[in-house]
Amino acid sequence: MNTLAIPPSVIDSIRNALIEDIGHGDITTEMTIEAESRSEAVLIAKEDTVVAGLPFFKAAFNIVGTGVETRALVGEGQLVSKGEIIAKLQGSTRQILTAERVSLNIMQRLCGIASLTRQFVMAVAGLPVKIVDTRKTAPNMRYMEKYAVRIGGGDNHRFGLYDGILIKDNHIKAAGGISKAIERVNKAPLLTKIEVEVKNLEELREALATRADIIMLDNMDTAAMRQAVGIARAGRAEVLLEASGNVTFLSVREIAETGVDIISTGYITHSARAADISLKII
């Protein structure tokens, strides 16, 4: 099984998901399965999918107990075909059945995100642009979902409010403008890069006159993005440009062709369809 140093907070999230599902006990399994029963089971892809989440899948069984051995037959990031076996399990029948739903929920969710991310990355193949995620993730699933984005070939934007400065429209309005907001950030002894969101070319020019390291072009059409890229390259070639807002699989290539450096999209996490994967006792 793939090795990954899972943070304790993520282990706690998986444990809480199991507590939510199991409660005071798996009464169906406890009433129908003998305590000493042992079984073999397989994790099967019921559609083509990019595999992501095996370390978390294994963690769910380890939390329930030490009676189940899991063995991956494929690697993270591998594209498997419908009907292919992803992993084999052996051990306590009760523990297999009790952890089944939570472990599958995680695998299905993460495989879906990795597969969708892979589609976006392939759509912009050959262009010097990165596909990155956002903070639009399911509560308590951010670490795992951003992991799946990386497995799918994408990159991570900031993980949370604590590890990146991103001055958005509400910050700008409350602070009294782009320049004032960035001026306040500059007074802090921080080494973190500064990113600011702009909605039009006028705001872009204002941002270029500040110490912003990254400028997000928010909900601009591609014609405006091309103009923005030209203005930025002529004024401050080193500044990174990020396109964001209403990015879909159909529009991502056209956006990439404007010359932006980064395309961020919440779609690859909040709208990924869960992959069809089953766990079957054999």
Which residues are tagged catalytic? 101, 136, 168, 197, 218
Residues with Cβ within 8 Å of residue 97, at least 6 apart in sequence = 26, 29, 33, 281
**CB 118: neighbour CB atoms within 10 A?**
22
**Contact assessment for residue 123 and residue 257, using Cβ atoms and an 8 Å cutoff:** no
User: Residue 50 is encoded by which pair of tokens?
Assistant: 């990019």
Distance (Å, rounded) from C-alpha 282 to C-alpha 279? 10
User: Residue 225 is encoded by which pair of tokens?
Assistant: 């993005």
